[in-house]
Structure 1
């Protein structure tokens, strides 16, 4: 009796998805140890510098509402190129105009708007490429990536900011993004399981309009909003408390983030 051999597990889509998702996670946490240094360097208040975190997260969250339907319509590769391109543009603005705080804020917003594609695309590529147990296995690796990156990114960010400067953190992110963009450009296949179709923004907006008046959606979203807001507040305040009040360096603060995240 012939037995069907189990389909081999192709790791390429999973590894690409892990690297793509990591770009979004890096954009949030790698800059946290640098916030006090940015405040001192540009002579701006704590609240103003904290907006650099808020603007990224706002762009990151809102853009996912757009990237999801867009990738389902026109495909994964075009959205990868668009999202990572916007992310690169925002990072480049932050480097070139690092001494202009208003441009820095705009650059951070652009970073968030581009990074939102990472969270959407990573999981979409996996669902296109795997099913059953293989999909479960691949998603577990994605979950590990999403959990580990916020822990190790501040360590690298703190070390770079302390030994070089806070501007060097943006340069590091730029190099990382260029590497991922180049890799995706040459290796990432189009995984959309059906033919591309026209993107209909009006239809998407009508769908979201129905969702935001649904009581179940409102209840679930309210919990997420509260959790999200508390995370934004803590992420913005901790660097100043730890470095100004306790006298930690950026490198030391980045290292203790490991303890905080594990707890």
Structure 2
């Protein structure tokens, strides 16, 4: 599979691919990583239908998204160190199998409690595919800028599936039962199991694996948290996730219930947002190496803050000062401001994540897991916060998105100056 006939990226060689990393590797890792985004996005258009099917309220349905995020956070804390000890393939194989089986249980859950439990178990399994591909990149590409470029490719691949996912979810809700969505998720998990089993190479050599014990694990995480380069970059990705999940949690109710979008039209709008985020990630891939990754990160955060400020201003103006006739124009202004806020995440994530991992090659799995855990804990908090407000205004969503971007800006300022230096990690 690593033959010379395969087209390769101009990235450093590795023990796995001594002649260069093939182009299919980012495609494969991106497809595996997309398990998380697709499982989050595909059922968003079904929220109102699930509310009716389970005879519950909107807050309980939104809470299933928070449960999903909590499971991803807990799972990553475990699976990251396991991948440093036992290699990358086995934890990802087991994780995808758990995800597939639990998704099938979600498909025929009779009530919201059963669904929530199965969803939590599915998230524990899905966490493997969120954290391990990032560690694989660090295994193969030690250079910070080259790693950020490959992560940008992962963002592109993992973003294509979520563009289609909500559209598929909207079609399913319009044409048949929302339960079909989770049968499709189970099938996706089964395909991932096959890819890991038959295609994915092991990127962590046996001699580079580290011991695993409770005390070692605690020491490892404390070492990472005490490192300002890691903690500041990880918190940037965390508050970026808080901002994105504020949008994910509330958007279906805002656009379907408040502005009257059909589930299909909302899914198409969701796809537009995803296209812009993927486009930004590809711009990042072209600019990394020409512009310092730290400067790209800072610029993207500033754009996101500006967009979030505009979003809050538009919502406040529309709710309290503008007349009802302005509602049609308000929708398009809200969409434009949300694009300005969400698109920069395609630049923020790869640069912040490689900044977090760059100085810890022997702890790549644990570092990726801890950073991912911070992301999903903050994402779960966004869901909990939004669940406390009625779904009668876009202001809670806009306010939480603004909070996330402002915190990104503050944490970004805490990065050590050496964190923006280009070149191979120490």
Normalising by structure 2, we get a TM-score of: 0.54
**2:258 maps to which residue?**
245
1:186 shift after superposition: 1.9
Alpha-carbon distance in 1 for matches of 2:195, 2:130: 17
1:259 shift after superposition: 3.2
Q: How is 1:203-242 mapped onto 2 (pairs within 5 angstroms)?
A: 203-209=216-222, 224-242=237-255
1:106 shift after superposition: 1.0
**1:26 maps to which residue?**
38
1:189 shift after superposition: 2.5
**2:26 maps to which residue?**
14
Normalising by structure 1, we get a TM-score of: 0.84
CA contact (8 A) 1:60 1:113 kept: yes
Q: How is 1:15-164 mapped onto 2 (pairs within 5 angstroms)?
A: 15-97=27-109, 99-130=110-141, 138-164=150-176
1:17 shift after superposition: 0.9
Alpha-carbon distance in 2 for matches of 1:250, 1:125: 37
Alpha-carbon distance in 1 for matches of 2:172, 2:41: 13
TM-superposition CA deviations, 1:180-238 (whole Å, max 9, x none): 21222122232212345542233112332455577777766665554433433332222
Larger radius of gyration: 2
Q: What's the secondary structure of 1:233's corresponding residue?
A: helix
RMSD over aligned CA atoms reads 2.8
TM-superposition CA deviations, 1:24-66 (whole Å, max 9, x none): 2111111111111100111111000001111111211332222
The alignment status of 1:191 with 2:219, answered yes or no, reads no
Q: What's the secondary structure of 2:22's corresponding residue?
A: coil
Question: Bigger shift: 36-45 or 10-19?
Answer: 10-19
Aligned in 2, Cα 1:79/1:153: closer, same or farther, shift over 3 Å?
same
Aligned in 2, Cα 1:13/1:225: closer, same or farther, shift over 3 Å?
closer
CA contact (8 A) 1:13 1:129 kept: no
Select which of 192, 195, 202 maps to 2:215. Answer: 202
Alpha-carbon distance in 1 for matches of 2:237, 2:147: 26
**2:185 maps to which residue?**
173
Q: What's the secondary structure of 2:174's corresponding residue?
A: helix
CA contact (8 A) 1:34 1:161 kept: yes
CA contact (8 A) 2:30 2:155 kept: no
Aligned in 2, Cα 1:220/1:84: closer, same or farther, shift over 3 Å?
same
CA contact (8 A) 2:27 2:157 kept: no
1:176 shift after superposition: 1.4
CA contact (8 A) 1:126 1:139 kept: yes
Alpha-carbon distance in 2 for matches of 1:232, 1:140: 20
Alpha-carbon distance in 2 for matches of 1:134, 1:215: 22
Select which of 259, 269, 278 maps to 1:256. Answer: 269
Aligned in 2, Cα 1:18/1:225: closer, same or farther, shift over 3 Å?
closer
Q: Show structure 2 runs of 5+ residues with no match.
A: 1-17, 277-338, 340-426
Q: Show structure 1 runs of 5+ residues with no match.
A: 1-5
Question: Bigger shift: 249-258 or 142-151?
Answer: 142-151
Alpha-carbon distance in 2 for matches of 1:131, 1:226: 25
Alpha-carbon distance in 2 for matches of 1:254, 1:184: 30
